[in-house]
Structure 1
Amino acid sequence: MTVYTVNPDLDLVLERTVDVPPELVWRAWTTPELIMQWFTPKPWSTVACEIDLRPGGRFDTTMRSPEGEEYPNSGCILVVDEGSTLVFTSGLGPGFRPQIAQGGFPFTAVVRIEPDGAGTKYTAVAIHADESAKKSHDEMGFHEGWGAALEQLVDLMKVR
């Protein structure tokens, strides 16, 4: 299922092939107890997560800095294609209710999970409204942060 075509002027893309089966990558993305173990690059942590896995459902996390400051993030799930595609946005809250996004700019995340041999082709796209938001997200360390989080996901799910 194609849900989005990447616009290189507005979007950031992380694509990797990982040696974890697609069903485990999906489980890691859709199980709150697992998200709390890998979602935030160390030394940060995810201390709370609530997911209502359906269009209009919530995708909420709370991240904690090494200094103990907490950053709640609330979002809305837009697309659930079981086992292969998860789309959520910070521009909407649960029930598709518009909200002011945390972090200064809203974005939509498209996570694609595809079989690749015994592993998974993993693609995460962060969609932005304008070039300024893309630049801000890139400068925050999108590639490093999302890449480190994916490595943590892989490490976690290899022992499952």
Structure 2
Amino acid sequence: MPELTLTLHRHIAAPPAIVWRLWTEPHLLMQWFAPRPTKTVEAVLDVQPGGRFYASMLLPDGSEHASEGCFLVTEPGRRLVFTDCLLAGFRPAPKPFFTADISFAATPGGTDYLVRALHANEATARRHAEMGFEAGWGAATDQLAALAATL
């Protein structure tokens, strides 16, 4: 079976409650979500199943990229799942790409942080990898960890 899941696994030196806040409070998400020099310029987070997940990013070339989707699972301090395969209210999206399944587990000294990017087919998973999933999500996670250290 082809690999349809990309993963990123890190230890964050902050408790799961802080990492959860960084994912669920728009003013905090905007500070770390896009790998620099890209900036997140808007975030709308209705953190409940079926609630809207929206982030707009300003790329260095001046273009904007928006991510529109909905939350599927919201377990405070434990797990957050959102997708662009569905829009708010579980409405089917016109151009689905992936689902993010993020888990936070308390460990001595912080949080075991796992991101799983789930794809429908091998071509989409490969495209996400070629777009720089590991480097981009890794850089954003480094930014998340740095911000977590200040809270």
TM-score between both structures, scaled by the size of structure 2: 0.97
Paired with 2:131 and 2:105, the residues of 1 have a C-alpha distance of 27
Deviations 1:44-101 (A, max 9, x none): 0100000101000000000110121111110110001111100000010000000123
Q: How many residues align?
A: 151
Map 1:97-136; keep pairs closer than 5 Å: 97-101=91-95, 105-136=96-127
Task: Tell me by how many angstroms 1:8 deviates.
Answer: 6.7
Paired with 2:16 and 2:2, the residues of 1 have a C-alpha distance of 26
Is the aligned partner of 1:9 residue 2:6? no
- 1:126 aligns to what SS in structure 2? strand
- 2:126 aligns to what SS in structure 1? helix
Unaligned runs of 5+ in 1: 1-6
Task: Tell me by how many angstroms 1:30 deviates.
Answer: 0.5
Q: Give the % identical residues.
A: 46
The structure 1 residue matched to 2:73, chosen from 48, 66, 79, is: 79
The structure 1 residue matched to 2:36, chosen from 36, 42, 48, is: 42
- 2:73 aligns to what SS in structure 1? strand
Map 1:58-69; keep pairs closer than 5 Å: 58-69=52-63
AA matched with 2:5: D
Is the aligned partner of 1:143 residue 2:134? yes
User: CA RMSD, aligned part only?
Assistant: 1.2
Map 1:21-32; keep pairs closer than 5 Å: 21-32=15-26
Unaligned runs of 5+ in 2: none
Call closer, same or farther: CA 1:124–1:8 in 2, change over 3 Å. Answer: farther
AA matched with 1:150: T
Runs of 4+ in 1 over 4 A off after TM superposition: none
- 1:74 aligns to what SS in structure 2? strand
Task: Tell me by how many angstroms 1:157 deviates.
Answer: 1.6
TM-score between both structures, scaled by the size of structure 1: 0.91
Native 8 Å contact 2:2 2:122 kept in 1: no
* Match of residue 95 from structure 1: 89
AA matched with 1:137: H
* Match of residue 64 from structure 2: 70
Native 8 Å contact 1:100 1:106 kept in 2: no
Call closer, same or farther: CA 1:139–1:83 in 2, change over 3 Å. Answer: same
* Match of residue 4 from structure 1: none
* Match of residue 56 from structure 1: 50
